Chain A
Amino acid sequence: MINAGTLALAALGLPFGSFVLLAVIPPLRRAGRAAGALSIAATGGSLLASLILWRGLPGQPVELQWSWLPAESGPMASVGVLVDPLAAKMLVLVALVSFLVQLYSLGYLEQETAPALGRYFAYHSLFAFSMIGLVLASNFLQMFIFWELVGLCSYLLIGFWYDKPEAARAAVKAFWVTKAGDLGFIIGIVLLWGQAGTFNFIELFAMASGKTLPAAGLGLIMFLIYLGAVGKSAQFPLHVWLPDAMEGPTPVSALIHAATMVAAGVYLVSRVYPLFLLTPDVLALIAWVGAFTALLAATLGLVQADIKRVLAYSTVSQLGYMMAALGAGAAAAGFFHLLTHGLFKALLFLGAGAVIHAVGTNDIWQMGRLGRAMPQTAIVFLVGTLALAGIWPLAGFFSKDAVLAGVWEGGLTVPFLMLAVTVFLTAFYMFRVVFVVFFGSGHAEGHPHDAPLVMTVPLWILAILTVGAGIRLAVGGDEGAHSPGWVPWLSSALAVAGIAGAWLTYQRGTVSADALVRAFRPLYFAAVKKFWLDDLYGAIYRGVFLGVSWGVGWVDRYLVDGVVNLASAWTLRWGDRLRQIQTGRAQDYLYGVALGLLLVIVWSYWR
């Protein structure tokens, strides 16, 4: 049995090695597919290491530490890896999805030029390294560094097609909006360090359980740390970047903006859950914001015509579920939903990618009857959709029930109702997509067909895992077993109602979609406008930031520059006047000398 720490370091080091090789050897990077092979091999090795690590996990958390930032009273911070069940599960998810997505990208991006492909895989290696580093981080400081690195990778990969203006804008938007949350995160970390004197998770947990952590200001600190999660995990009101991030290549959306990076916020809260337990107010806030985000994003998902945007809003919505569970005290349920969601949402995105690859558009109204043309994609997409809707016996059913039960038992009735409504809406909007795209009466351009093997294999693996995990849970069924008996029935009934509603509306046409729009006209209008949040941010930007900039510009132009100009003008004028005393006559200078001499003599007498 190999040492757990070594395995963790191998999982971390392999993608890093691949990234460094691709970064410093340009011919290798420009080779395109060879770069992809290297990156995939490294991530595959990472996956292998994490699987072995996960299967043979010791009972105690494994921690490796190296001191860093030396100071007089011991090192200020250390770097290291921390492996416990939480990190190991997340590690497997990250490595698995990274591996499958990179494999899939070989097929999806075959049209790209070789240098672009090499760049893409270099970014992917960097992302795998950063995300694994984030998962394995043993202290806040290291986590923050990797947290920013994944943000950078997200920026780079959203803007992969950087000559497309929307993609470049979306990349910048994603960067700035998440950065707004990260500002809170780093302030929180530093404040916590000021209180506790350490960044290390294990030491902080020991302090939390020993009640030696100073309680003063802890609520504010944990709120600030939660802000980082708000930005990264696209919680209201910072969720606006995630739908725009869909401008990136679809595999990137599957990996970063569905399965792994956006879940980092949820992972962060799970990771330091013992600290959050000390601040029940912040937890309640997390639950309310999570439930509200889930509902809001679901209503937004209803009106989107872009298949990837529907999935993006559904991701925001499901992240809201996870956060709500964490806030309600059901940390295990929230993290469980993170894992299952990572599987089936990656599956859905990759399936959507296969559709987009075949049809050449994102607009669901330009697709139709694809179930016949691409049966494999249709089956796996249906599996993913059923899992997302929460249908027995797929993985999503169990995790969603655990979340709902956890929120109910946490005594949060209103968030529970929001989440229950969201179950219905989720089923409705996802099956709207399924019916319109795969069974609807529309007609797609060209002759779409199933994707090549390199793309379908990852799809099938994810589909089998989604089903397999669900069946294993249905047979074993230890997770969520303690929930109230009526919760699974309620959620299933709501999901089936949603599916039926979508079927009646978009397949049979019994209920006219236009009639629905008329019935909910104000809500529909607001959802189409994204509840004016983007406009609000735009107005704030224009009003506040441009206003302040204008003021600063005025001060610089007229006050600062004015003083400088005044000084120079006065210097010129007085220089001009002083020039007059230089007559050029030697005798006048001699007068000066004689006068000086006289003064010296007088002064020496009077001294």
Chain B
Amino acid sequence: MGLQPYLILAACLFAIGLFGVLTRRNAIGILLGIELMLNAVNINLVAFARYAADPAGLIFTLFTISITVAEVALGLAIVILIFRVRLTVEADHLDLLKG
């Protein structure tokens, strides 16, 4: 199997993740979308590593996975803190930056 199906899969996954981030109103849903996008990147990395027979891509993927875990932990913590303060996690209501 060539490289292209993997890249198409990753692109679809990335697009689904982006769609989720842009359309979900719930902060947790947005975090899930971000996870999807990151995993699309991981698929790309692995596919390229395999295609070029270079193990560096695999190692990068391991890094990305572990950093993603940390990011999710932080993101969920922030969402919980926001819920405690504002009693909501609806992204539409979190507009403190409004000009």
- Tell whether, in the assembled complex, residue A584 and residue B91 are in contact, meaning their CB atoms are under 8 Å apart: no
Interface range on chain A (Cβ under 8 Å from partner): 10 to 19
**Interface check A447, CB cutoff 8 A:** no
For residue A582, which residues in chain B have a CB less than 8 angstroms away from its CB? Answer: 97-99
Within 8 A of A (CB), among B14-71: 18, 21-22, 30
How many angstroms between the C-alpha atoms of A544 and B91 in the bound complex? Answer: 70
Which of A265-273, A292-300, A364-372, A585-593 contacts its partner? Answer: A585-593
**B83-98 near A? 1/0 per residue, CB < 8 Å:** 0000000011011111
B91 touches A586 (CB 8 A): yes
The minimal Cβ–Cβ distance linking B13 to chain A, given in whole angstroms, is 15
Tell me which residues across on chain B come within 8 A of A587, comparing CB atoms. Answer: 21-22, 30, 91
- 1/0 per position for A567-590, CB-CB distance to B under 8 A? 000000000000111111111001
**Which chain B residue lies CB-closest to A594?**
B18
CA distance A582 to B92 in the complex (A): 13
Contact assessment for B94 and A586 in the assembled complex, using a CB-CB cutoff below 8 Å: yes
Q: Is the CB of B22 within 8 A of A584?
A: no
B81 to chain A minimum Cβ distance, whole angstroms, is 16
B25 to A, closest residue via Cβ:
A587
Which B residues are CB-close (under 8 A) to A579? 99
**Complex alpha-carbon distance, A591 and B22, angstroms:** 7
Q: Which of B91, B98, B99 has the most CB of A within 10 A?
A: B99
List residues of B (71-86) whose CB comes within 8 Å of A's CBs: none
Residues of B contacting A585 in the complex (Cβ-Cβ under 8 angstroms): 91-92, 94-95, 98
CB-CB under 8 A for A590 and B21, given A585-B91, A585-B92: yes
Q: Check B99 against A581 for contact (C-beta < 8 Å).
A: yes
CB-CB under 8 A from B22, the residues of chain A are 587, 590-591, 594
Q: B92's closest neighbor in chain A, by CB?
A: A585
Nearest CB on A from B27, distance (A): 9
**Interface pair B99/A580, CB less than 8 Å apart:** yes
Chain A contacts for B18, CB-based, 8 A: 594
B95: chain A residues at CB < 8 Å are 583-585
Question: A581 CA to B21 CA in the complex, in Å?
Answer: 20
* CB contact between B98 and one of A583, A590, A591 (< 8 Å): that residue: A583
Question: Which residues from 459 to 478 on chain A have a C-beta closer than 8 Å to any C-beta of chain B?
Answer: none
User: Complex Cα distance A579/B22, Å?
Assistant: 22
Kindly provide the distance from the CB of B88 to the nearest chain A CB, expressed in whole angstroms: 13
CA distance A76 to B42 in the complex (A): 81
User: What's the Cα separation between A118 and B33 when bound, in Å?
Assistant: 92
A580 to B21, CA, bound (A): 23
CB of B78, distance to nearest CB on chain A (Å)? 12
A171 to B2 alpha-carbon distance, docked (Å):
102
Min C-beta distance of B44 to chain A, whole Å: 16
Give A255-272 interface residues, CB cut-off 8 Å to B: none
- Distance between B35 CB and nearest chain A CB, rounded to angstroms: 15
CA distance A594 to B97 in the complex (A): 20
Chain B residues with CB under 8 Å of A583's CB are: 95, 98-99
What is the chain B residue whose CB lies nearest that of A585?
A: B95
User: Does the CB pair B21–A584 fall under 8 Å?
Assistant: no
The smallest C-beta distance from A582 to any residue of chain B, in angstroms, reads 3
Q: Which residue on A lies nearest to B99, using beta carbons?
A: A582
Q: Mark A543-582, 1 if CB is under 8 A from B, else 0.
A: 0000000000000000000000000000000000001111
Nearest chain A CB to B2 CB, angstrom units: 22
Task: Return chain A residues, CB-CB under 8 Å to B30.
Answer: 587
In angstroms, Cα B96 to Cα A579, docked, is: 14
Interface string of A106-133 (1 = CB under 8 A from B): 0000000000000000000000000000
Chain A residues positioned under 8 Å from B98 (CB to CB): 582-585
Question: Which B residues are in CB contact (< 8 Å) with A584?
Answer: 94-99
Question: Nearest-CB distance from B90 to chain A (Å)?
Answer: 10
Chain A minimum-CB-distance residue to B15: A594
- Docked complex Cα distance between A580 and B98 (Å): 8
- In the bound complex, what is the Cα–Cα distance between A459 and B97 (angstroms)? 92
CA gap between A590 and B97 in the complex, in Å: 14
Task: Name the distance in Å between A604's Cβ and chain B's nearest Cβ.
Answer: 15
- In the assembled complex, which residues on chain A have CB atoms less than 8 Å from the CB atom of B97? 582, 584
Taken together as a complex, chains A and B put the C-alpha atoms of A502 and B85 apart, in Å, by 109
Please give me the residue from chain A that is nearest to B18 by CB atom: A594
C-alpha gap A579/B99 in the complex (Å): 5
B71 to chain A, nearest CB (A): 15
Which residues of the partner chain B approach A590 to less than 8 Å between Cβ atoms?
21-22
A584–B94 CA distance with the chains assembled, in angstroms: 8
Complex: how many Å from CA A587 to CA B31?
12
Cβ contacts A426-464/B at 8 Å (1 or 0 each): 000000000000000000000000000000000000000
6 closest Cβ pairs, A-B complex = A582-B99, A584-B98, A584-B95, A584-B97, A579-B99, A585-B95
A and B contact pairs by CB, cutoff 8 A, 15 listed:
A579-B99, A580-B99, A582-B98, A582-B99, A584-B97, A584-B98, A584-B99, A585-B94, A585-B98, A586-B91, A586-B94, A587-B21, A587-B22, A587-B91, A591-B22
Not counting A580-B99, A582-B98, a sample of 12 additional A-B residue pairs whose C-beta atoms are within 8 angstroms of each other reads A581-B99, A582-B97, A582-B99, A583-B98, A584-B99, A585-B94, A586-B91, A587-B21, A587-B30, A587-B91, A590-B21, A590-B22
Residues of A within 8 A of B (CB): 579-587, 590-591, 594
